[in-house]
Amino acid sequence: MQHFNKLLFTALLGALLTGCGGGSTVADADNDQVITVGDSIFDLSNEIQINLESFAGQTFRKYTKSGAELSGGSVAQSVVDQYAEAKADNSAITTVVMDGGGNDILIPVISLADPYGCKTNIFRSDISSNCKALIDDVYVEAVNLLNSMDNDGVQNVVYLGYYHTKNAFYNNLGALAKAVDYGDLRLAQACNNSTVNCTFLDPRSLIVNSDINADGIHPNSSGSLKLANLIWPTLQPLL
């Protein structure tokens, strides 16, 4: 019974994080030297990539997976493994457009227990030390991944940060604002402290509640266009 409950929980969690969408891997594109890796912010509707490819007039290889954590995880292939797959398909990668790390925080929260204390409430005005430690671990994983990209000859990384989630019908995800703030701080530091040429893009001032789906997490069409417009000025000169 315990094993069944674990499988059921994993299935329900996966449904919440991945929705009904998610694009397929694209292992061969117009420009094989540019890849995207990351989670459902990119992958659920695929609209960020569609917009970027429309701006560029060319397609890029795509490895994003809805539900992905930065490394490890049981819901979807991790960002680390996505990059490994892209490298195995074609190692001539010069530019990586990515996100990653959000689900490492979100998955424990959606378990309803919030075991790391990443939500704030009337009794806790800041995230807990355990939540900060969890995010610090994500920072280490991000630096390791970015450094490995540099060692592999990747020249540029465009790292999209996270915006504030909003309350949803199944969870008060708006209470994650301070966790998102600390997470973006540490991801920006990972970008700056890695050896690869990495540009961190902060979307928090751009994305408002009306740009987010009813699930409280994923960008709708207006949000995806805003995120693509945020990425494009950094990506364009790299093509």
Residue 62: which CATH number? 3.40.50.1110
Q: By the 8 A CB rule, do 67 and 40 touch?
A: yes
Cβ density class 156-177: b for 16+ within 10 Å, e for less: bbbbbbbbbbbebeebebebbb
pLDDT given at position 21: 52
Burial of 6 (0-12, 13-18, 19+ CB in 10 A): exposed
- Angstrom distances, CA of residue 151 to CA of 87, 90, 95, 155, 206: 12, 15, 13, 10, 33
Number of compact structural domains in the chain = 1
- Low-confidence stretches of the chain (pLDDT < 50) are 1-12, 14-16, 18, 20
pLDDT given at position 170: 77
- For residue 238, how far is the Cα from the chain centroid? 21
pLDDT given at position 171: 85
Q: Report d(CA 215, CA 45) in Å as an integer.
A: 13
Q: By the 8 A CB rule, do 38 and 25 touch?
A: no
Q: Which domain holds residue 90?
A: 2-238
Q: By the 8 A CB rule, do 194 and 146 touch?
A: yes
Q: Phi and psi dihedrals of 33, rounded to 5?
A: -85, -10
pLDDT given at position 17: 55
